[in-house]
Amino acid sequence: MEPHPATEIIDTEELSSLLQSGGPEKVVLVDRPGQGFAVASFTLALCGIGFGLLPILFPVALTLGALAVSYGLIGRQSDRASRGLALAGLLLGLASLLVGVIGATVVYRAVTWAADEVDQLSDRVEEIVNDLEERIDEQVLEIEASIDETVTQISEDVSGQIQEDIATQLEDLQRQLEELAQP
């Protein structure tokens, strides 16, 4: 918004000199920048550090830290009264960036460790599966051999029993024939 053509914007030093010289002859508006960037920098930095305490939220801490640093730099240039707050926001913003980097490192190492553990577990599971397959194959062979032996034994026993039964029946038939052949 542009000032009215008859309005002149002056800073505080010019206002002091006007007041010492007997007062202004016109209405004077003092344009004094606020502390918005300094307050924003400080607030963003504190939030960034807070979010950075949870390592998984490191992207939020990095983003808020970067904003806090940039707003802190802008705040230091704008108003003398807010320079201290802007400097605090700037330094805390750097701390937020540091916390974010540490969080990123922690998350990276945790993910790498978890991936290594999963790989090791996968290798161990594969070893166990291979071992179990070998044992099962051995047991199957043993069971097959046992079944073959049992079948052979049963077959021999049944064959022998059948031969005995046939022999007994033949003897019975021969006796019956002999009895019939005798008058």
Q: Is 63 inside any structural domain?
A: yes
Q: Could you give the CA distance from residue 141 to residue 86 in angstroms, rounded to a whole number?
A: 81
Q: Is 19 inside any structural domain?
A: no
In total, the chain counts a number of residues equal to 183
Domain with 118, as residue range(s), is 33-168
Percentage of the chain modeled with pLDDT above 90: 56
If one counts the domains in the chain, the total is: 1
State the pTM of this model: 0.56
- Would you give the DSSP letter of residue 25? S
Q: Could you give the CA distance from residue 60 to residue 86 in angstroms, rounded to a whole number?
A: 21
Q: Is 43 inside any structural domain?
A: yes
User: In this structure, which amino acid lies at residue 33?
Assistant: P
Q: Is 66 inside any structural domain?
A: yes
Q: Which residues fall within 8 angstroms of residue 101, CB to CB, at 6 or more apart?
A: 58, 62
Instruction: Give the residues across from 30 on adjacent strands.
Output: 10
Q: What is the pLDDT of residue 26?
A: 58
Q: Is 3 inside any structural domain?
A: no
Which of 78-82, 111-115, 137-141, 153-157 is predicted with the least confidence, judged by mean pLDDT?
78-82
> What mean pLDDT is predicted for residues 140-154?
92
Q: Could you give the CA distance from residue 142 to residue 139 in angstroms, rounded to a whole number?
A: 5
Q: Is 131 inside any structural domain?
A: yes
Tokens read off for 19 = 């007041």
Assign 101 a pLDDT band (cuts: 50, 70, 90). Answer: very high
Q: Is 173 inside any structural domain?
A: no
- Of residues 169 and 18, the one with the higher pLDDT is 169
Q: What is the pLDDT of residue 83?
A: 84
pLDDT in tens, 10-69: 677 776 777 777 665 655 454 555 688 889 999 999 999 999 999 899 999 999 999 999
| Apex 47 CA angle, 43 and 48, nearest 5 | 115
Q: Where are the alpha helices (DSSP H) in 35-82?
A: 36-52, 58-78
Q: Is 24 inside any structural domain?
A: no
Cβ atoms < 10 Å from Cβ of 44: 24
Q: Could you give the CA distance from residue 52 to residue 103 in angstroms, rounded to a whole number?
A: 6
Q: What is the pLDDT of residue 94?
A: 96
> What mean pLDDT is predicted for residues 147-171?
89
As a whole number, the mean pLDDT across the chain is: 86
Assign 5 a pLDDT band (cuts: 50, 70, 90). Answer: low
CB 97 within 8 A of CB 128: no
Q: What is the pLDDT of residue 6?
A: 59
